[in-house]
Amino acid sequence: MNTNNNIGQIIIHVDMDAFYASVEIRDNPALRGKPLIIGSLPHERGVVATCSYEARKFGVRSAMNIKEAFRRCPQGIYMHPNFDKYKAVSEQLNNIWNTYATVSQRISLDEAYLDVTEQAGDWEGARRIGRLIKQRTLDEVGLTCSVGVAYSKTAAKMASEEDKPDGYFEIPTSGDFVDLIIDRDVSVLYTVGEQTAKKLHEAGIMTVRDIQQHQELVVRLLGKHGRWLTQVAFGIDDRKVVPYRPQDAKSISREVTFQKDVRDYELLKDVLLLLAFCVEHRAGRYSLRGKGVTLKLTYSNMQSISRSRLLSFSTASAVTLYREAVQLLDTVDHQPVRLVGAGLYNLAQGEQGQMVLQDLFEDPGTLESQRKELLDALGHRYGLDFAGHLEQIYQMDTLHKTVEYMRKHFKGL
């Protein structure tokens, strides 16, 4: 392998190994060596969030329907995720990783890109940093990670996946990258999912080499995405590591899946109120306001629909989001519903000086009065103190449990 890095940047991709499952095994060593599946329970609706490598031997994988996972691995140990715990561990990990990066880009709780060009100085320095990250992650957090060191983001991600679990792999140059993947299936490339791979396969484009040899066809089939793939197939990727900032989000939403289909749309409206408060809470953390409202439904036949509406003003108010989402709900076919979601889009950070104009549309006093009225009415219907426990309901686990309680105790209006 050529170890002369003349690309101008050195990027590390760190990816934890079966993160949720590994945290649970760390905290309960009795789970070690057993097929552990984190996500929904077998009798519930939902999917696998992640699973241990022992479970993967049975064909279980992330995003798999939980019923299919149980069919393949009935002897598995099934657990709900503990997101508060995972977020706390994630903060520990990022405190370690960021030590070595000029810029870090957090992709998820367990994954990040690190630009180590300055700290490393050369390829040997990058190799030393990669090894240090692995060792400190194990010593200080008690978990293993896989590290890829490369000249680009695409190559770094490929490298971290090359030798999982607890792997370390280097791809110093574009030539090394192409040599590694040239005769692999097109699905090896980042952003090529199942449907894209199928479309390419049907056109006779099976491998990365085929992409190189049929660039015009790939672009005709996939447009802008195809143009990107023709570049990556030659190892070209000059994207920079860009810090993730929650305030740069284009949309915020929250959704829940019911354990049994919901037929009464008055119950859906009650659930939309809780979702609206969850969205308001997240928007408020980053001073975000949206000019559009979205409603998402998945019916019992798995058909998903979405409805949206642009507003003449920007908002972060749960009352406004709820009111608009309910109006959108009244426009859809009233079939049994499996999932409901609500959100804001066209987001921007609000400025205090713009609030006078905002008050023309949303009087703060009126909103506060409506907020109290809605929560009091919801609490009365279900015998729960929603107003006093919103902070808990913002948490995913509590939200799902509350919604299920509401579904079981709903008596109509």
Q: Tell me, yes or no, if 111 is annotated catalytic.
A: yes
Does the domain at residues 179-232 carry the CATH identifier 1.10.150.20?
yes
For the chain, domain boundaries? 19-82, 179-232, 246-409
Task: From residue 120, give the alpha-carbon distance in Å to each of 5, 68, 123, 127, 158.
Answer: 12, 45, 7, 8, 20
pLDDT in tens, the chain (413 residues): 334 444 489 999 999 999 999 999 999 999 999 999 999 999 998 899 999 999 999 999 999 999 999 999 999 999 999 998 999 999 999 999 999 999 999 999 999 999 999 999 999 999 999 999 999 999 999 999 999 999 999 999 999 999 999 999 999 999 999 999 999 999 999 889 999 999 999 999 999 999 999 999 999 999 999 999 999 999 999 999 998 777 778 899 999 999 999 999 999 999 999 999 999 999 998 899 999 999 999 999 999 999 999 998 899 999 999 999 999 999 999 999 999 999 999 998 865 434 444 544 566 777 888 889 999 999 999 999 888 888 888 988 889 999 999 999 887 55
Distance CA 146, CA 300 (A): 39
Selected catalytic residue, list 24, 68, 91, 111: 111
Q: pTM here? A: 0.78
Q: Look at residues 321, 296, 292 and name the one whose alpha carbon lies nearest to residue 309.
A: 292
State phi, psi for 28 to the nearest 5 degrees: -140, 85
Class at the top of the CATH hierarchy for domain 19-82 = alpha beta
Distance CA 62, CA 148 (A): 21
Q: Look at residues 108, 134, 145 and name the one whose alpha carbon lies nearest to residue 15.
A: 145
Task: From residue 244, give the alpha-carbon distance in Å to each of 104, 108, 119, 247, 343.
Answer: 8, 10, 20, 9, 20
Distance of CA 282 to the CA centre of its chain: 15
Distance CA 321, CA 295 (A): 10
Q: Which CATH architecture has domain 246-409?
A: 2-Layer Sandwich (3.30)
Distance CA 288, CA 344 (A): 10
Task: From residue 90, give the alpha-carbon distance in Å to each of 112, 136, 161.
Answer: 11, 14, 19
